[in-house]
Amino acid sequence: MFNQWDGNQDGKLSKAELRPIERGGNEACVEEFIDMCDDMVVDGSISVDEWCDCFTFSDDLRHEPPCHKAKHDVDPHLLGVFLPRCDLEGFYKPEQCHDGNCWCVDRYGREFDKSRVQNTLPDCGQYASDMTEEDIAFLRERL
């Protein structure tokens, strides 16, 4: 379905690409949908990962994993809001950063004692974390 709507084949769905759904009378909330689902990289469009993530638990909120729920309970466009980093299963990734602070958490989002550091990335290796170069770059942007 994603590829059908991605008219320019850039791997992202924009408001313009989703607008025909709204005109058909089937969906009157395209802008709100994009706002809700645009939460991994807040850029006004929806990537394939954001699309899949948004629909994963849409009809089963009772079993929604904790990080997925926390991420979707906040408006990603609000200034200063914390958006947790989640794995593909919807649980917390070990390294979390916000406003120059970083810390280590378990998969349920519980912070490990004395793991919080300022203006540097945490060493969560003792908690079995394997950060990719992409993870490191993403976290450095949040510092």
Q: Indicate the domain borders of the chain.
A: 2-58, 66-141
Q: What is the DSSP letter of 110?
A: P
Spell out the per-residue pLDDT of the chain, length 143, in tens: 788 888 899 989 888 887 777 666 555 567 777 777 776 677 888 888 888 777 766 666 567 889 988 988 888 778 889 999 988 788 999 999 999 999 999 999 999 999 999 999 998 887 766 777 888 888 888 77
Q: How far is CA 77 from the centre of its chain?
A: 12
Q: How far is CA 30 from the centre of its chain?
A: 19
pTM of the model: 0.62
Say what the pLDDT of residue 57 is. 61
2-58 is classed CATH 2.40.50.140: no
Residues whose CB falls within 8 Å of the CB of residue 61, separated by 6 or more in sequence, listed in order? 69
Residue 96 burial (CB count, 10 A): 24
Say what the pLDDT of residue 106 is. 93
Q: Which CATH architecture has domain 66-141?
A: Irregular (4.10)
Say what the pLDDT of residue 26 is. 57
Say what the pLDDT of residue 76 is. 78
Helix/strand/coil for 48: helix
Say what the pLDDT of residue 20 is. 76
Q: How far is CA 118 from the centre of its chain?
A: 22
- Here the tokens at position 139 are 């976290």
